[in-house]
Each structure stands twice: as structure tokens, then as C-alpha cells.
Structure 1
Amino acid sequence: MKKIITFILCLGFGFAFSQVKETEILPAKDQSEEHVLSKDSKSAEYPGGWMALRKDIADRIRTKKINVGGIEGTITARAKFIVNIKGKIEDITVTGDNADFNKEIERAIKSLKAKWKPAESKGRIARSYYTFPLTIKLD
């Protein structure tokens, strides 16, 4: 009896620990989502243009949240983001000397609710990358 129970336990452990996990096949992405804008195409448009975008971001920046720490003059940063095929902003990266200013710019860009008109490349909707500088003058 003990031999049968031992045999069943060994067989059970053998089946339990010898299973191989199958690899999961991910569904293919839509090609229009992966297509990146080329230079000869129509770029994405913010409602009202670039000046409206700059004004909307400037209106959302809370200057009280920025710790200047004795810095005089100007603080600069560079914002980089992608406008996806649905007209939404994604993958925001802000670089600059002041971390608080960078965080505040990123927060302001994320808070934009306006939907962009997506870029077009060769007649297809495409993602587009944007980079622009932002500067704050300290008095």
C-alpha cells in the first residue's frame, strides 16, 4: 500500500512540475499605429495653432509650485511628446535644469483636453513627434 501511495505521489509531482508554459502570442498591432510621420507629410494640428497651444500650457502652469531656489534670470526646459493617431498626447518627456519646472510643464501638458487633428503621411493617419522649448523669466 505504501509503495502504491509513494508511486502515485511521485507520478503526481512529476506531472505537476514537468509542465512547460506555452508562450503567449500577442496580436499584431494596427500598422497605422506604428507608422511614423515622414518629412513630406501633413503634421498634426492643435486647435487654434501653436500659439493657442503655448497659451493653453502657460495658463495651466502654477508658478507657485516651482521652487526657484535662488535662481535668477530664466529657466528653460524642452518638452517632447507624441500625438497619436487618435489625436491624443502621449509619451511626454520634459528636460531642463529645474525639476519642479519640468514636472509642472508635464502636468500642464497632460491636463490639456483639446483633441489634436492627427498627422497624415502618404494618405494615412500617422503618429507625430513634437519638441518645443519653454522658458520662464524670473524677476
Structure 2
Amino acid sequence: MQRINTTVSEDNSEVMRKYLFFILLFWTVSIAAQKDSTVVPGVKSNVEAVSQPTKTAEFPGGHRAFVNEILKNFKTAPLVKAGIMSAKVVATFIVDTEGKMVGIKIESYEHPMVKNEFLRTLKMVKTLWIPAEQNGKKIRSIMRQPLIFNLQ
């Protein structure tokens, strides 16, 4: 009986290490993704499109808070159960002038289950962003968020 408990503890420890690795990897890659954001023109015509906002959109509490919001809802168990130990997904969304995440789309993905889980998780984020600004006026901006899922 004692031996079984030791094996279960070792298995749980290994799963926890893999999960922590996933979180660290996701957080590191996602910080770099925020720097690649581009601006989508607001209600005005495309002639007045801005290439770089004066102030980029920000998630309250910073990027780490955004990643934590995603991770608290991201379910890895069904993916592991399906034998998916690694995959990459890239999502884009617009932060509108009110700070809402709209137009959430998956730009690229390696596995449909990971794509669907990431999309579901992003749609669950209801915290309003601080919108991007150009010359003191709130504008819409496109954000790009990668996810690297790796439990190996």
C-alpha cells in the first residue's frame, strides 16, 4: 500500500512540473506577442489609419494579469487525455474603443482541440482593456496572442 502512494505522488509531481513549464513558456512567449500589435482604424475612413498608436492597449494589471486570466480557465486535462502533449496556436482580437475584446479569431493552429480550447478561454475574458490611443483619442487596435502548449 505504501508503494502505491509513493508512485501516485511522483506522478502528481511530474504533472505539476509539466504544468508549471507550460505556464512559464506561455507567459514568456505572450509578452513578446504584445509588442507585435498593430492598429486598426477606428470609425473613421481607412485614409486616416495609424501605423503605431501613441499609447498601446493595456490589460489592467499588465500582461501577466491577462495571461493569468487565460490560464485560470484553460483546461489541459482533455488535451492530455486525447494524447496532445504539445501544440501552437495564434489568436488575434481587437480591443475596441470601449476596451472590449471583439473579433476573436484563430490565426493559425496545429491541433483543433487546442485551437477550440484557446478560443473558448479567450472568449471567457470579460475584463475591459484600457484602449489604445492616438493623439489622446481612443482607437481600436489589433492584438496578437500566441499560445505554446507543451507538456513534454
TM-score range relative to shorter protein: 0.5 to 0.7
Select the residue among 75, 86, 89 that pairs with 1:62: 75
Counterpart CA distance in 1 for 2:116 and 2:87 is 13
CA RMSD of aligned residues (A): 2.2
Is residue 127 of structure 2 the alignment partner of residue 89 of structure 1? Answer: no
Same amino acid, percent of matched pairs: 31
Is residue 144 of structure 2 the alignment partner of residue 135 of structure 1? Answer: no
3-state SS of paired residue (2:94): strand
5+ residue gaps, structure 1, are 1-30
Is residue 128 of structure 2 the alignment partner of residue 115 of structure 1? Answer: yes
Residue type of the partner of 1:125? K
Task: Using the TM superposition, give the Cα deviation of residue 32 of structure 1 relative to its aligned residue in structure 2, in angstroms.
Answer: 4.4
Counterpart CA distance in 1 for 2:42 and 2:145 is 25
Checking the alignment, whether the CA contact within 8 Å between 1:36 and 1:127 is kept in structure 2 is no
3-state SS of paired residue (1:86): coil
2:59 paired residue number: 46
Task: Please report the TM-score for the alignment, with normalisation by the length of structure 1.
Answer: 0.68
Task: Please report the TM-score for the alignment, with normalisation by the length of structure 2.
Answer: 0.62
Q: Return the structure number with greater helix share.
A: 2
Checking the alignment, whether the CA contact within 8 Å between 2:53 and 2:132 is kept in structure 1 is no
Task: Specify whether residues 32 and 97 from structure 1 end up closer, same or farther in structure 2 by C-alpha distance, changes over 3 A only.
Answer: closer
Checking the alignment, whether the CA contact within 8 Å between 1:36 and 1:126 is kept in structure 2 is no
Aligned residues: 108
5+ residue gaps, structure 2, are 1-40
Residue type of the partner of 2:63? W
Checking the alignment, whether the CA contact within 8 Å between 2:58 and 2:132 is kept in structure 1 is yes
Counterpart CA distance in 2 for 1:36 and 1:82 is 15
Residue type of the partner of 2:147? L
Residue type of the partner of 1:76? K
Task: Using the TM superposition, give the Cα deviation of residue 135 of structure 1 relative to its aligned residue in structure 2, in angstroms.
Answer: 1.1
Task: Specify whether residues 48 and 37 from structure 1 end up closer, same or farther in structure 2 by C-alpha distance, changes over 3 A only.
Answer: farther
3-state SS of paired residue (1:57): helix
Task: Using the TM superposition, give the Cα deviation of residue 83 of structure 1 relative to its aligned residue in structure 2, in angstroms.
Answer: 0.3
Counterpart CA distance in 2 for 1:52 and 1:103 is 22
Task: Using the TM superposition, give the Cα deviation of residue 68 of structure 1 relative to its aligned residue in structure 2, in angstroms.
Answer: 6.8
